[in-house]
Structure 1
Amino acid sequence: MSIHPFLQINVFSTDPLLGNPLAVVLQADGLSEARMAAFARWTNLSETTFVSTPTDPRADYRVRIFTTLGELPFAGHPTLGSCHAWLANGGMPHGGEIVQECGIGLVRIRRDASGVAFEAPPLRREGPLEPALHARVRAGLGVAADDLMDAQWVDNGPPWLAVRLRSRAAVLAVRPDYVALEGLMVGVFAACDANDGVDAQFESRAFIAGEAAPEDPVTGSLNAGIARWLLREGSSPDRYVISQGTVLGRAGRVQVERVGETVWIGGACVTCIEGSVTL
């Protein structure tokens, strides 16, 4: 058994109860993969992270990201929450930006008065879905053909595919069949209009069939992939906000900004629980 600093962070909302919670174990060197996975199952959160000494000298720290089902090479709210926890525990970056080492390699992170933001990783897979998969996803979401505008791969580590719907109302109305979507990570999103009365330009939802909590409250990796899609096609401004978590009673806000060729995905982080954990 070993004792480690532990924090639970609320990500993508300034209200501690309206974002996406993340469990962070610091000084995790020496913990086995099996022990990490067991603790992630025990927390029963969408993700639990373990921060340790980097293996790459260019990185400030290394993070491993676990869901209740297994390890992810990258995820958005764990990246932001882990960085926030590392900084709160006295972490000092080598330079002006913070560099995180994770399963997809090195991820740049910046911080400012509004919170922290990561550089959206390149898409490992993009483009339209295969016809059979397209039909399966539409049926699994229960979406009318007239409401579905497009569907594309936005795989940036987690194998997300995203479905663009005609309206925010259509996004909020989705009631997925998780059996039909088994094995898939599916996001839905739509542009908001003035009649929606929300302080965001887009609304999104994220579904992970097989997870203990199959709808994720606020999802950085999905929205990073959607941002790559929208900005590539010129379907969004260089700076915008995505609302997520509405159906779950959350008020997540994901900040997207393109600076030159770099796309930044950010949001607020709040420490809710701080102490130690024995593993």
Structure 2
Amino acid sequence: MTSLPRIRPFMQVDVFSARPFHGNPVAVVLDGTGVSEERMQALARWTNLSETTFVLPPTNDEADYSLRIFTSQAELPFAGHPTLGTARAWLEAGGTPRRAGRIVQECAAGLVTVRHQDEDLAFAAPPRIRHGALDDAYLGRIMTAFGITRGQVLAHQWVDNGPGWAVVQLATAREVLDLEPELSLIPDAMVGAIGAHPAGGRYRYEMRTFAPGAGVLEDPACGSMSAGIAQWLTADGAAPAAYRVSQGSRVGRDASTAVVAEADGTVWVGGDTTVLIRGTITL
């Protein structure tokens, strides 16, 4: 049942950067009880951020809370930076996990574990619902939109853990940064590119993600794509068990994502989370 508008706790969290205003912000409504789906979507459209989230009571006894995640155009079953940003907001608002050091988020993609120690947060990558090489036709459309040749593509893969991600791997970070995609050629795509930085630096990879299908032309930082790529590359032995990804410089950000793959196959994706706006919203 939809409730009448009322004042609700609200935060905005900067995710994946230690520098304020240089990560990917997420708007978090800490009490979404009684808010209709139409209102949720309207607020997400109004905030004009990559995502806006709504915290609800869990329906699963193992979960600490339930979460709904909206872009400006659609609801997502899972997304990475909203998962970390919401966990930070929930903790700051006084949330207490059922298990010390572990937050369990319920969302449309299932249960997602977020581990926290002091200020560090990282989520366990959910299973991919689609993996394997892209078909030739879709890869061709991506290459045309990106303005690249088949010879520049080292590998390609579905890395979809809910949003619909696909990725192409290029040889270098510079090639990724130089992309000038024509997204009108792939208006429904959820796609990214990744390329290696020179050895010995802080970052292993540079990543860019484009989500015209969700109303986000270029995402400043994308945890869900980082998670899917890490599951792919570490399982194949093509990436080390721990590395960092740089993202966002082409849109004026300075995002850093930490990836750790454990021996049992669990991939953890983490980064800085900072609450920059605290207040209320009438919804």
TM-score if structure 1 supplies the norm length? Answer: 0.97
Identity, in percent, stands at: 47
CA contact (8 A) 2:74 2:214 kept: no
Q: Separation in 1 of the partners of 2:128 and 2:214?
A: 23
CA contact (8 A) 1:5 1:25 kept: yes
Q: How does 1:154-193 map to 2 (within 5 A)?
A: 154-193=159-198
Other-structure match for 1:225:
228
Q: Separation in 1 of the partners of 2:218 and 2:147?
A: 15
Which residue type is aligned with residue 220 of structure 1? G
SS at match of 2:91: helix
Shift of 1:27: 1.4
Shift of 1:95: 0.6
Shift of 1:58: 0.8
CA contact (8 A) 2:84 2:123 kept: yes
CA contact (8 A) 1:44 1:212 kept: no
Shift of 1:114: 5.2
Which residue type is aligned with residue 244 of structure 1? Q
Q: Separation in 2 of the partners of 1:188 and 1:217?
A: 13
Give CA deviations for 1:228-262 in whole Å, capped at 9, x if unaligned.
11111101111110001011121101110012221
After superposition, the Cα gap between the structure-2 partners of 1:268 and 1:133, relative to the gap in structure 1 and judged at 3 Å, is same
| Among candidates 87, 103, 108, match of residue 103 of structure 1 | 108
Task: State whether structure 2 residue 250 is matched by structure 1 residue 247.
Answer: yes
Number of equivalences: 277
Q: Separation in 1 of the partners of 2:105 and 2:12?
A: 19
Q: Separation in 1 of the partners of 2:119 and 2:127?
A: 24
| Among candidates 92, 95, 101, match of residue 91 of structure 1 | 95
Shift of 1:145: 2.7
Shift of 1:212: 4.7
After superposition, the Cα gap between the structure-2 partners of 1:210 and 1:107, relative to the gap in structure 1 and judged at 3 Å, is closer
Q: How does 1:1-279 map to 2 (within 5 A)?
A: 1-96=5-100, 97-113=102-118, 115-194=120-199, 199-261=202-264, 262-279=266-283
Which residue type is aligned with residue 241 of structure 1? R
SS at match of 2:195: strand
Q: Separation in 2 of the partners of 1:185 and 1:210?
A: 6
CA contact (8 A) 1:147 1:167 kept: no
Give CA deviations for 1:117-140 in whole Å, capped at 9, x if unaligned.
000011110011111111111111
SS at match of 1:13: coil
Give CA deviations for 1:6-35 in whole Å, capped at 9, x if unaligned.
000000011111100110001111111111
SS at match of 1:4: strand
Which residue type is aligned with residue 227 of structure 1? A
Which residue type is aligned with residue 126 of structure 1? H
CA contact (8 A) 2:190 2:214 kept: no
SS at match of 1:214: strand
CA contact (8 A) 2:210 2:218 kept: yes
SS at match of 1:179: helix
Q: CA RMSD in A?
A: 1.2
CA contact (8 A) 1:203 1:242 kept: yes
TM-score if structure 2 supplies the norm length? Answer: 0.95
Shift of 1:199: 2.0
